Copies of this chain bind each other. A is one copy, B any other.
Amino acid sequence: MSSSYHQFCPVAKAMELLDERWTMLIVRELVTGSQHFNELRRGVPRMSPTLLSKRLHQLTRAGIVDRHDNSGGVRYVLTAAGRELYPVVEALGAWGIRWIGEIGEEDLDPKLLLWDMHRNIDHQAVPKERTVISFSFPDVLPPARYWWLVITPEDADVCDADPGYPVSITITATLLNMTRIWRGDLSWPDALHAAAVTIDGPAQLRRAVPQWFTLSAFAAVDRPDNRQGRRPG
């Protein structure tokens, strides 16, 4: 229970509910479409389950989230009030991508990156057959260096072990560069031209890869001044 600011200002009243650590990130996850407890956890892996549980209770009491216990598992769903937090998340993200360009070593996480990417695949753009993308992050120590994305027209799965299917495309990049592409700090064309990322596989697929991913929702936000944004085209 966060304490009150003792102010009638609506900004203060809103922040009483939202300024606690992790809360906005949970809202972000819910806005993104996660609903199940363990699904939410994947979006905030460094949060303890106890604390996540507590926050979900708080958000429920605040009328931002509804807990549905239908058969099929428990689902946390945004209420009308919760859905209207979208502009807040949007404004925060747009500001963050514009003004916090430097992301540290500590902020990088291949699992989180793959988890984000798998949620933002343009299934229209991917081949009808099962497509397996192998990711290699040469700068990451072996347990987390190799990842696979298994994409079908209906679904996408993240694997941290070789799923066994033939690999269609291999993407090699430092974790930072792959993250920068995802965030829109670096465009695919620029990255390929500078050899910041390498795509291996049949030429036809290789050229198509950038179309497969809808990048971060904030990738398209304009950057201040001359900072690198997504290149048109």
Contacts and interface: CB of A to CB of B under 8 A. Distances in A.
A112 interface: yes
Contact of A21 (B19, B85, B109): B19
Contacts of A24: 11, 15, 19
Interface stretch (A50-58, A88-96, A151-159, A162-170): A88-96
A183 B100 contact: no
Interface centre among A9, A12, A25, A85, by most chain B C-beta atoms within 10 angstroms, is A9
Given A21-B19, A46-B5, A46-B6, A11 B89 contact: yes
Contacts of A22: 5
A10 interface: yes
A96 B8 CA distance: 10
A108 interface: yes
Interface residues of A, number: 58
Nearest to A179: B8
A107 B10 CA distance: 11
A157 B100 CA distance: 40
Contacts of A224: 80
Contacts of A141: none
Given A8-B112, A106-B6, A84 B95 contact: yes
A5 B89 CA distance: 16
A5 B109 CA distance: 11
Contacts of A87: 91, 94-95
A103 interface: yes
A15 B95 contact: no
19 contacts: A4-B104, A4-B106, A5-B46, A6-B106, A6-B109, A8-B103, A8-B107, A8-B179, A8-B182, A9-B28, A9-B116, A10-B100, A11-B28, A11-B92, A11-B93, A12-B107, A14-B92, A19-B21, A87-B91
